[in-house]
């Protein structure tokens, strides 16, 4: 049996899923930026609040350690452009955005801007780089046809990154499979 509720802890929302199958363990993840805790059915509100604070602090530490700034993203995109596309893509700006919830990245070819979903901040660099390569390729080829696929295929980790992102998407879209 499961019971889901939305609470506020320290002014921020948290989704709490209580499960009769859990005895002691507590796990956490984020859905569209909202912390989601899976806890034992009879855990007290006080313990839920403590775990929420602990997981938020852990996430902040991990994010600070793993995230790249927008300037670092632009520098990485420029290196990938030079390595894979002989510097022809020429990105003007690359930045994180919280507004993308259904795409990993997007490109505006007219002004050379690339946006990456901030949901990828904690993902491995090679996955972030794969999305960067995809968006850089769009600066050279707007569609997803054979020429575009050939450009993206220059990145050696495309298939693995696509599989990784598909797995993450599947997990986020099927939360009931986690318990």
Per residue in 40-80, pLDDT tens? 999 999 999 999 999 888 877 766 554 568 888 999 999 99
Q: Which of 66, 88, 108 finishes a domain?
A: 66
Is the same domain home to 53 and 84? Answer: no
Q: What percent of the chain has pLDDT over 90?
A: 67
Is the same domain home to 23 and 85? Answer: no
Is the same domain home to 147 and 168? Answer: yes
3-state secondary structure of 38: strand
Q: What is the mean pLDDT of the chain?
A: 90
Q: How confident is the model at residue 88 (pLDDT cuts 50, 70, 90)?
A: very high
In a domain, 51, yes or no: yes
Given this model, what pLDDT does residue 110 score?
92
Distance (Å, rounded) from C-alpha 83 to C-alpha 134?
Answer: 14
Is the same domain home to 60 and 85? Answer: no
Given this model, what pLDDT does residue 74 score?
93
Distance (Å, rounded) from C-alpha 39 to C-alpha 51?
Answer: 9
Given this model, what pLDDT does residue 15 score?
93
Distance (Å, rounded) from C-alpha 179 to C-alpha 173?
Answer: 14
Check: CB of residue 91 under 8 Å from CB of residue 102.
no
Q: Kindly list the distances between the CA atom of residue 41 and the CA atoms of 1, 18, 38, 176, in Å, as whole numbers in the listed order.
A: 9, 4, 9, 16
pLDDT score of 135 more than 90 = yes
pLDDT score of 24 more than 60 = yes
Q: Is 133 exposed, middle or buried (0-12, 13-18, 19+ CB in 10 A)?
A: buried
In a domain, 114, yes or no: yes
Given this model, what pLDDT does residue 177 score?
63
The total number of structural domains in the chain stands at 2
């Amino acid at each position: 049996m499961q019971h889901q509720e939305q609470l506020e802890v320290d002014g921020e929302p948290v989704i709490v899923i209580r499960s009769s199958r859990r005895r002691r363990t507590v796990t956490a993840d984020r859905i569209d930026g909202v912390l989601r805790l899976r806890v034992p059915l009879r855990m007290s509100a006080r313990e839920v609040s403590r775990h929420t604070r602990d997981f938020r602090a852990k996430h902040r530490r991990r994010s600070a350690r793993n995230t790249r700034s927008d300037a670092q993203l632009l520098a990485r995109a420029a290196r990938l452009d030079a390595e894979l596309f002989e510097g022809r893509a020429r990105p003007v700006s690359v930045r994180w955005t919280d507004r993308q919830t259904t795409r990993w990245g997007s490109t505006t070819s007219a002004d050379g801007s690339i946006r990456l979903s901030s949901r990828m901040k904690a993902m491995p660099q090679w996955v972030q780089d794969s999305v960067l390569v995809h968006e850089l390729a769009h600066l050279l080829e707007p569609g997803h046809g054979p020429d575009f696929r050939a450009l993206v295929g220059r990145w050696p980790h495309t298939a693995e990154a696509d599989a990784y992102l598909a797995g993450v998407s599947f997990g986020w879209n099927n939360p009931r499979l986690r318990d």
